[in-house]
């Protein structure tokens, strides 16, 4: 009799736990739907819509329930073509392409390119919440979680004018261009001085030459190759992924990687083989073109925010990022 009573009580407790779990789930879904349909998704700005969905996903947290997975990101990868003529065949038969005219003057054309990349890096950083919003799903733990903000290509005529830009040129442009009195360099990376970015490039150069098969002579060798299509990608890296990356690689240069204004700098170059940098970001070594990526601790957990970075839009380079998801459209 006592055993039957205890068994009844156990079943009753289980039923109550199940009922409470279902109730919480239903309420959670109701809150999510209320918030979701309360947002104006009819905006003409894809970036604004994307930002709203990121704000919604980052704000919906109810206990241990994976509510962030229920909230989809409404983000699209913008295709941008810098062109001199009327045609832009670089994106094939894609219909929605943003076309930007480029000057026929070589110096002005380079400035046009620098302006576009600088603006797109900042816009991507701003759209995803400037490193303050967690857009990675709550239960994500496999690899880095990536969003592709934009793809940028030049038409054939433009490539004849500007074949490449260096990261130093890009940072100098961002330092000089101000919005409401604040430089794009500071708005994007939180760094005020160009000297700090030069220092980051010099340390990245040293790391690159020690950790990869690609030997670079100077920081001017960190370049963006404009003869091929490029993509701007932003990432969140889970704590366990970050620790896996950094295991056994710290201290490669002077006890670790450079920290400037709270961000960590590391190099990447593109080629054939995968290795690891001193700060735990994949480096694909073997190519002549490379750059620097920056990351910082995410405030609310142990994940890392990897700032928007320019990568060649190739299978090889995107595979080298080891992203398990590009939630935005290709």
Looking at residue 172, its pLDDT comes to: 97
- At 76, list the tokens: 């699209």
Backbone angles phi, psi at 222, to 5 degrees: -80, 105
Q: Is 190 left (phi over 0), alpha (psi -120 to 50) or beta?
A: left
| 3-state helix, strand and coil shares in percent for the chain, rounded to the nearest 5 | 40, 25, 35
As a dihedral over the C-alpha atoms of residue 213, residue 215, residue 219, residue 221, rounded to 10 degrees, the angle is -90
- List the structure tokens of 126: 């701003």
- 132, HSE (Cβ side, Cα atoms, 13 Å): 9
Q: What is the pLDDT of residue 32?
A: 46
Here the tokens at position 299 are: 């405030």
Report DSSP state, residue 220: G
Q: What are the tokens at 101?
A: 């005219």
Residues belonging to the chain: 330
DSSP 8-state class, residue 77: P
Reported as a single tens digit per residue, the pLDDT across 179-194 is: 999 999 999 988 888 9
pLDDT tens digit at each of 330 positions of the chain: 544 555 545 556 566 565 565 555 555 445 444 444 444 444 447 888 999 888 888 877 544 555 555 678 888 999 999 998 777 777 877 778 899 999 999 999 999 999 999 999 999 999 999 988 888 877 676 788 889 999 999 999 999 999 999 999 999 999 999 999 999 999 998 888 898 888 878 877 777 777 667 788 888 988 999 999 999 999 888 877 766 655 433 333 333 344 444 555 555 544 322 222 333 333 322 233 456 777 777 766 778 888 999 989 988 888 777 787 776 544
Contact 163, 109 (CB under 8 A): no
Look at residue 182 in the predicted model and tell me its pLDDT. 96
What is the pTM assigned to this prediction? 0.77
* Closest C-alpha to 185, from 260, 99, 258, 266: 260
pLDDT for position 90: 79
In the numeric block, which tokens belong to residue 125? 């950083």
Helix H, strand E, coil C: the string for 43-72 is: CCCHHHHHHHHHHHHHHCCCCCCCHHHHCC
Q: For residue 59, how many C-alpha atoms fall within 13 Å in the half-sphere facing its CB?
A: 11
pLDDT of residue 67: 53
């Amino acid at each position: 009799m006592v055993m039957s009573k205890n068994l009844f009580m156990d079943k009753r407790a289980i039923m109550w736990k199940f009922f409470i779990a279902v109730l919480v789930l239903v309420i959670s879904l109701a809150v999510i739907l209320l918030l979701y349909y309360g947002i104006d998704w009819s905006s003409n700005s894809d970036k604004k819509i994307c930002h709203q969905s990121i704000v919604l996903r980052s704000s919906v947290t109810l206990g241990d329930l994976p509510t962030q997975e229920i909230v989809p990101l409404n983000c699209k990868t913008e295709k941008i073509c810098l062109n001199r003529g009327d045609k832009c065949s670089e994106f094939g038969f894609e219909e929605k392409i943003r076309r930007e005219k480029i000057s026929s003057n070589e110096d002005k054309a380079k400035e046009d390119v620098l302006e576009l990349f600088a603006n797109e890096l900042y816009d991507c950083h701003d759209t995803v919440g400037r490193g303050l919003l967690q857009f990675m799903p709550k239960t994500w733990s496999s690899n880095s979680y990536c969003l592709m903000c934009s793809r940028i290509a030049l038409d054939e005529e433009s490539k004849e004018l500007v074949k490449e830009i260096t990261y130093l040129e890009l940072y100098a442009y961002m330092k000089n261009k101000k919005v409401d009195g604040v430089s794009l360099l500071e708005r994007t990376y939180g760094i005020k001085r160009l000297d700090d970015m030069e220092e980051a490039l010099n340390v990245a150069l040293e790391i690159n030459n020690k950790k990869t098969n690609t030997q670079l002579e100077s920081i001017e060798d960190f370049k963006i190759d404009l003869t091929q299509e490029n993509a701007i990608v932003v990432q969140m890296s889970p704590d366990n992924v970050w620790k896996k990356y950094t295991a056994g690689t710290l201290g490669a240069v002077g006890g670790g990687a450079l920290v400037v204004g709270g961000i960590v700098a590391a190099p990447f170059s593109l080629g054939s083989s995968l290795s690891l940098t001193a700060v735990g970001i994949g480096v694909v070594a073997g190519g002549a073109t490379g750059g620097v990526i920056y990351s910082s601790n995410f405030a609310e957990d142990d994940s890392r925010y990897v700032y928007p970075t320019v990568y060649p839009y190739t299978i090889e380079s995107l595979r080298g990022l080891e992203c398990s998801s590009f939630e935005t459209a290709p």
